[in-house]
Every structure is written in C-alpha cells, then in structure tokens.
Amino acid sequence: MKELVRELGDVVSTDAAVLEEHSRDTSRAEPGGLPAAVVRVHSATEVQTVLRWATTHRVPVSVRGAGTGVSGGALAYPGGLVVSLAAMNQVLEIDAPNRIAEVDPGIIVDQLDQAAAAHELMYAPDPVSYQTATIGGTVDTNAGGLRCLAHGVTRDVIAGLEVVLADGRLIRTGSRTRKNSTGYDLTGLFIGSEGTLGVVTRVIARLKPRPVGEAVTFSAQFPTMAAAGAAVATIMASATTPEMLELMDRNSIDIVQRHFPSAVAAEGEALLVGQTIGTDAQQQAEAVVSACRDAGALLAEAGGGEELLDTRRMVNPALNAAGLALSCDVAVPPSRLAEMFERIDDISVQTGYPVNTCAHAGDGNMHPSVLAANDSAEEVAAAEHVLTLITEAALDMGGVISGEHRIGSLKTGMLAQQFDPDTLDLQHQLKGFFDPVGILSPGRAI
Amino acid sequence: MKELVRELGDVVSTDAAVLEEHSRDTSRAEPGGLPAAVVRVHSATEVQTVLRWATTHRVPVSVRGAGTGVSGGALAYPGGLVVSLAAMNQVLEIDAPNRIAEVDPGIIVDQLDQAAAAHELMYAPDPVSYQTATIGGTVDTNAGGLRCLAHGVTRDVIAGLEVVLADGRLIRTGSRTRKNSTGYDLTGLFIGSEGTLGVVTRVIARLKPRPVGEAVTFSAQFPTMAAAGAAVATIMASATTPEMLELMDRNSIDIVQRHFPSAVAAEGEALLVGQTIGTDAQQQAEAVVSACRDAGALLAEAGGGEELLDTRRMVNPALNAAGLALSCDVAVPPSRLAEMFERIDDISVQTGYPVNTCAHAGDGNMHPSVLAANDSAEEVAAAEHVLTLITEAALDMGGVISGEHRIGSLKTGMLAQQFDPDTLDLQHQLKGFFDPVGILSPGRAI
C-alpha cells in the first residue's frame, strides 16, 4: 500500500469516513468490512497503476461511479481497494455532425444528455437514477430506463470504449464510424460485465436526434394486472411503439400515495402510463388508448400531464421510505405479461406476502417488491423466498433473472437456473482469461 | 477420417466435385488446395461430433453457409474440413407477438424475411446477397445491407445464439426477452467473429414491423463526389434518416451502363439514390432533395422509380463482369465523406489507376474498386497498392479498414494499422481461449 501511495499520492485515501462512504451501493447488500483504501483516480494511467499493483499483491478491487447500483456490484471488499472514477467527469467532445460523444466514465448520465441537448441531440438511456448515476456505471451494468423502450438500452448506444485490463494493459474497442467490421466485439463484451473484466476509462457514445414535437402522456386503469398485461402485449405487437410504457399495480399506487399524498389518484388494480412523442404524438397516444379500451380498461385517456409519469418515478423513493423492500428485476417476453402477473398474484396469495409490482411494461421487465416486516434473518429469508418463486415463474416463461439491474453480489445464486452448466462454465473461464488472479470484483456478476 | 465417416455416415463427402465446389467463396482469395472432406451437417450434434474430431486430430475447419462471403473467410484449408450448414435451413418459429424468429443457420436471409412478412414483420439486414446468403453467414460476418442505415446491422437484431465451441461443447447465449442483464454478452462476441470462435447452430433474431405506407425513391446528381459527400453529411446530421442512401461515382455508373445498357442514365460525377418509407415518405424525400439542391446538386428529384436503386444493385455484377476487380470496404464518419472522396481522387491521379467508388453513403461505408488490367502478380500488386493507400486515408480520418465485409483471409495484413498492439494481442489471446488448438478458421479474421 505504501508503494501505491508513493506512486499516486493523495488520490489514495485511507480516511475512515471516506472508506465508509465508498463501501456500499444503494442495494440492501452489506459489505463484509471496510476496504483498505479508496483510490479516486484522475486518469487511465492511474487506473493502470492501481490494477498492476492489485494484481501483483492479489488485492480485490471494486469499481465505483456514483454508487447508485442496486445489485451490490460496487460493494467494497474488506481489505480491498475501491477504485472511484467519479473525478474523471468531463465531456471530452460532442461531435454533433456524426452524433458521437466521447466522455470520461465519471460523468453523470444527465450531464451527458444535457451536453447533447445543446446540439438538439440526446443520450437516450435514462435509468431512474439518471441524475446521479455515472456513464461508467451504466456501461458496466448495461442500464436501461424509461425511454429505452423506444431507444434501446446502454449496449445499443455505445460505439467504443477504452478499458484497463486487470494486468494494467490499456485497450481500445469499437470506433466512431457508424459501421465497423474489424475484430471481435469487445465493446459489447465489456458492457454489462459489471467491472469484472476491466475498468472502463473512456466511453464513445452514439447520440440520437432529440425527438421534436409535443410529448403526449396517456394513462389507462385496469380491473386486473392481467388485463393490463394483455393490453401491453397488444400495444407491443402493434406498429406503434410508445416512447415509454410503464405499469404499476394497486399496491405500488397505494404506497406512492401514502408517502406522497399529492400523487395522482387512480382506480382499479393496475395503472398503465406512458408517453408518445413526435408530430403525430396525439394520434399515436389515442391508438394506444383505444387498444387499452378494447382490452377492458376502466378509464383510458390521452393527453394527461407529466405528473402521471412522476407517479411512476415515485415508486422507488416510496418503497425506500416504506422500509425494507426486497425487489427483483425479472423480464419475460411481452406476450407472457398477463400470465406472469397472474403467477405473481398466486404466489402472493400462497405465501401470504403482499407484492408490489411496477414494470417497464413494454419491455416485459418488472420489479416485484416485498416489504419485510422487520430485518430479522427469518423475515428477510421469507421475503427472499417470495422473490425466488417469482423469479422461477419468469424463467418458466422463457424469461431472465435480471432485465436491467444485473447480478452484482445479490443474485449470483440464481445464475445456475438461468444458464446451462456449459454456458455458465464458459463465462467463469472467460472471467479467468481476462483476470487470471481474480482481482476485479471477484465472485460477482457471473 | 474413417472414424468421422463411421460416426456421421454420408454427410461426410470426399467427392472431388463436392470438395471443389465448397473450397472458395465469392472473393478473389484462392484456396491453397482442396479440403480433405466436406461435412454437410444436419444438426448441432453433428457439428459437435465434427469439432471434437477436428480438435482431437488438429485438423483445420472452415465454416460455410452459401459461400457468398467476399473476404475469403470461408475458404477451404488444404487437407482440412469444410463444415457446411446449408442443409440446416428451417424457420423453427416466428413468434409474432414478441417479434422473434428462431431459425437454423442455413436459412437464406430472404426466406427469413419472407416468413416474417407473412406476419407483417421484417428481418431488416439485407446484404446485397440477401437472396443467396445464409443467416449463419451474416451472423458470422455481422453483415450490413442497404436498409441497415435505418434498421441497423446484423448485430443490432440478433437476440441469441446456439453455438458449438471448438472442443464440442454446446452453449446458448442471449434470450427471447427484450431486455436481458444476465451474464456476459457472448451473443455480440460471436457475431462478426467469422467462425473463428465457434460454429453458430441456431439463431434467435428480432423482427421489426414492416414499414407501412409508400416507398418514395429519390435521386440527385452532383458535379463532384465531394459535393455529394457533403450533401450526405448534411442529410445524416438532419432529423430525417432515409431508409436507404446510396452513392455511385461516374466510373461506377459507366460500368453499369456498359454491362447493363438499359440501366438509368445519369449526368455528373456522382449519383446519390435513396428511399424513404412511411406515411410521410414523400415529404421526407423532398426534404432530402432540398438538402441536395442546397449542396449543389445538378438535378435532384423525389418520386423516381425503384429502377434507380437497381442501378446501385447492378454495380457488383457489372464489376464482376468487367473482370478482375479488387475492392475494399472502408468506413469513415459521415462528416468526413467529402474529404475521403477527394483523397480517393488524389490517389487515383497519383497512381494512374481509375477507381470506381460506390458507397452505403449514409453509413460512411464505401467500396472503392480497382480493375486490374490482367492477372499478373505485378498488376494485382499495383491494384492492391491503390486500395492500401485508400485504406490508409480512411484510417487517417478515424475510419476502419472494414465497414461490413470483414477481414477474412484477405485483410489480416492491415489489422496492425487498425488496432494498437495490446488491443490486437488481446484478440489473438481471446481466439486462443476459445480455440486452444486453433482448428476454427485459423489465421483469419484477427
């Protein structure tokens, strides 16, 4: 460690408050103890120095942007190093004619989007934490967001990366051209690898034209979640893809209203809200509303305000305020949504635990949550069991155990249900190829 | 070999005509000799058997769909095995509500698109060879096509794969959900790996709604390629992305007219043709035409017929008919197109070789060709040198040595100019990880 301090100076901190502050993300995962040091790097060269040192001394490294992850991926290792990229936070270039941005990994997603907006462009992925999350973190997790229904997830918009490997080598992937047929797709491989294959030190992102025309919000209330799920399947099989299509169940609406009493009221067991954007936004929104009515909506209207979407955005804060919420992140093919919601109801009835479900419905991605009555091991285990049953139901329907939050340190136990043994083995071997000593977020992601 | 024949029976052919027929692709690359056998597999299990045998006996394997590749990727190895996937050619499922197709690797691209069309969906990537190329081949090469400007290349539409590894293990990547945040992105890694990392035995593809509304073709003639390039940069920086945006230089137009005299005539040094589709297609096409006029087009009109696009599609057949055409496949950021075309003109003047350039202009991807006067080694080397100068010019502009045709066996010599040493080393090491004995298309792609 002295060697590292000598080489890097005061970017290496062992201050107890700093260690504490950098030891967890926003998930319920608990670090086993404090890291030995936090290294707040300012350059790729510093990252190379840190990883070389860590490989030589076999010290585990966790990588951190803003710590907004929800799967325990950035949790500190006791006695390990935390590499924080938060200080590498500049927009290096907006190449507007080619719709490319080149940025440091520590820049906040919203800051990149705002820099793009100055050129009438946008950086599309908008995880709920877009005002605090860093680009590097969203690359490591392949983050989604509300508008990824129409514009794709992080993987769909990243053109290239600069990455420092575990042994300190620096490599570059991708290109700034629109097409590139050279070499293996290392860009895609690093995206979503949760910092286990390398540390991203620069990001080349593709921007899109900022949608012009009005945004029209629509909403529909349904007597059951299954009815809402059927409506979503119909909408997603139609020619019109809304910009956003979000769903909340009764429990989610209630919990939002309990904690934010001014939030919009809604009848029925399910509230579908969304937005269309463009010159024909009103017409598109009316097509969606019409599909909702055909699917049995109690009330459906186009032209509501942005506050309807705010209700959706309040679910996470309300759950956090409500106490110990355990949630999962499954995804199923959109046509199976109705069936999936019925299964969740059945599981809730069978276990006696109420479940709140909100969903990026158009993507078939949902976040069922269970509130644990207290933090006793038994109670948490019982709540976890409810989520396990829900996850197994999703797998039965050709779904996945994570749609957008990834695996981190919380969900590795379920990987063997998602992958056949040879496929999972290959991933472990690939991790060993990139990081033979196993210093980069060992034991996580795969 | 007897062992393999015993296990697989008459799917293993050593017939001289079959060997000859399966030994080359459509590039100018020459195999060094005939393969020992062609294995026309019918199942993933047979692929596993072949690769296990080849790994055990250290026999090189080339993988082949329809042999439409243009970079020598499917060339037979003398004494090696050719695995042909052409007989695995079924559409296994069209899941219309979820816009997913699951298919065998040997199905022809157009057949998949037609199967999708029956559900008002489309499989978007349409390489010029879409009526003969197989899906597996387009996955291995990450093929583009005319309409990939608006709809993305192969990588953008593949949701998952089944792959047999060199040691015979079978793995599955991706999922049928719209979002998936589990495990490493092996799907992307195999796409474009030219058969060097594994053999794709099943493909899960994403379909899109088939565009509705009329298709409007537009065209514009320019006094110089640079002027046309500047027009393309403007169009690509505007809010309207045409469905197709193709460019031909005077030499390309002339060669088409020489070989297909009924082809459309055009004045000027450059012909830009394209198409818009949708309810506002006419309006969009007029916006493009207006941008062309502002950029100095001699003649520009919206509403021409499909035959304009046919002219573009005739360039390859005309070049083939003209004799020994050597071509390259560089891509640059669209804003650099005008400069790139000026550089090509300069190189043509300096070397005394006329160059034909046609381009998937909107993507910044172009195929400059040089006709060799004869097939003497000196003449071919001189023509190659012209292409090398052009490729170096593209690299100078932040471009890539291949936009869509990949590296195959023809372009490996230029990889060191595209990649820094550590990045290229990593790719060689990754190949070694997947295929330690080196049986799968050794020496190609990277």
Residue A310's pLDDT is what? 83
Q: Is A141 on the interface with B (CB under 8 A)?
A: yes
CB contact under 8 A, A97 and B334: yes
Q: Is residue B408 in some structural domain? A: no
Residue range B310-368, pLDDT digits in tens = 888 888 888 888 877 889 999 999 999 999 999 999 999 999 999 999 999 999 999 99
Q: Do B179 and A98 touch (CB under 8 A)?
A: no
* Residue A155 forms contact with B (CB below 8 Å): yes
A213 touches chain B (CB under 8 A): no
Q: Are residues A314 and A251 in the same domain?
A: yes
State the residue range of the domain holding A104: 91-209
Q: What is the pLDDT of residues A51-106, one digit of tens each?
A: 999 999 999 999 999 999 999 999 999 999 999 999 999 999 999 999 999 999 99
Please tell me whether residues A176 and A198 are part of one structural domain: yes
CATH number of the domain that B101 lies in?
A: 3.30.465.10
Distance CA B159, CA A216 (A): 31
The C-alpha R_g of chain A, in whole angstroms, comes to: 22
Give the tokens for residue B282.
């006419």
Which CATH number goes with the domain that contains A348? 3.40.462.10
In the numeric block, the tokens 């009526």 are attached to B131
Cα–Cα nearest to A160, from A193, A130, A122, A200 = A200
A68, A137 in Cβ contact below 8 A?
Answer: yes
Q: What pLDDT is stored for residue A93 in this prediction?
A: 98
* Whether residue A203 sits in one domain with residue A109: yes
Q: Is the pLDDT of residue A396 over 80?
A: yes
The first and second tokens of residue B343, run together, are: 């550089």
Which of B42, B67, B84 lies at the terminal end of a domain, its last residue?
A: B84
Beta partners for residue B75, in sequence order: none
List the single residue in B177, B209, B333 with the smallest CB-CB distance to A333: B177
Nearest to residue B249, comparing CAs of B221, B277, B230? B221
Answer whether residue A405 is part of any domain.
no
Name the token pair of A349.
Answer: 């009835």
Q: At what angle do helices B337-351 and B225-236 cross, to 10 degrees?
A: 160
Whether A231 and A304 share a structural domain:
yes
Considering the domain architecture, whether residues A299 and A325 belong to the same structural domain is answered as yes
Q: What six digits make up the tokens of A299?
A: 């009330």
pLDDT of A13 reads 97
pLDDT at A7: 92
Q: Are A177 and B400 a contacting pair at CB < 8 A?
A: yes
Chain B residue numbers with beta carbons less than 8 Å from the beta carbon of A193 are 184-185
At A57, which CATH number? 3.30.43.10
Contacts with A155 from chain B: Cβ below 8 Å: 185, 188
Q: What residue ranges in B136-188 does DSSP mark as E strands? A: 158-164, 170-174
DSSP single-letter state for residue B162: E
What's the pLDDT score for residue A311? 84
Counted residue by residue, chain B has a size of 446
Q: State the smallest CA–CA distance between residue A423 and chain B in angstroms.
A: 5
Q: How far is A188 from chain B (nearest CA, A)?
A: 6
Q: In this predicted structure, what is the pLDDT of residue B322?
A: 81
Contact A177 B233 (CB under 8 A): no
The verdict on B111 and B182 lying in the same domain is: yes
Best probe of the A interface among B181, B196, B246, B419, by most A CBs < 10 A, is: B181
State the pLDDT at residue A304. 74
Last residue of a domain, one of A84, A102, A136: A84
Pick the more confident residue, B306 or B366.
B366
Instruction: Give CA separation, B287 vs A279, A335, B298, in Å.
Output: 16, 38, 16
Residue A372: pLDDT above 90? no
Q: Are residues B230 and B154 in the same domain?
A: no
Q: Is residue B424 in some structural domain?
A: no
Greater confidence, A280 or B424? B424
B356-382 in b/e form (b: 16+ CB < 10 A) is bbbbbbbbbbbbbbbbbeeeeeeebeb
Residue A309's pLDDT is: 82
Q: What gap in Å lies between CA A62 and CA A77, rounded to an integer?
A: 7
Q: What is the DSSP string of A270-300?
A: EEEEEEEESTTHHHHHHHHHHHHHHTT-SEE
Do residues B185 and B252 share a domain? no
Q: Give the span between the Cα atoms of B170 and B198, in whole angstroms.
A: 9
The pLDDT of residue B280 is 86
Per the domain annotation, does A113 fall within a domain? Answer: yes
**Residue pLDDT, tens place only, B139-197:** 999 999 888 999 999 999 999 999 999 999 999 999 999 999 999 999 999 999 999 99
Distance from CA of B16 to the nearest CA of A (A): 34
Task: Inform me whether the pLDDT recorded for B229 exceeds 90.
Answer: yes
- Tell me if A350 is assigned to some domain: yes
Number of Cα atoms under 13 Å in the Cβ half of residue B36: 12
The answer as to whether B432 is a domain residue is no
* Furthest C-alpha separation in chain B: 69
Average pLDDT, chain A: 94
- Interface A–B counts its CB contacts (< 8 A) at 246
Contacts of A181 (CB under 8 A, 6+ apart): B141, B142, B144, B192, B329, B400, B402, B403, B404, B405, B406, B407
For residue A193, count CB atoms less than 10 angstroms from its CB and return exposed for 0-12, middle for 13-18, buried for 19 or more: buried
Residues A236 and A279 in one domain: yes
Of B27, B62, B84, the one marking the end of a domain is: B84
Residues B191 and B258 occupy one common structural domain: no
Average pLDDT, chain B: 94
The crossing angle, in degrees rounded to 10, of helices B377-396 and B337-351 is 150
Do A225 and A191 fall into the same domain? Answer: no
Chain-centroid distance of CA B190 in Å reads: 15
Is residue B118 included in any domain, yes or no?
Answer: yes
- The answer to whether residues A173 and A306 belong to one domain is no
Q: Percentage of chain B surpassing pLDDT 70?
A: 100
Residue A417, domain member (yes or no): no
Domain count, chain B: 3
Q: How confident is the model at residue B2 (pLDDT cuts 50, 70, 90)?
A: confident
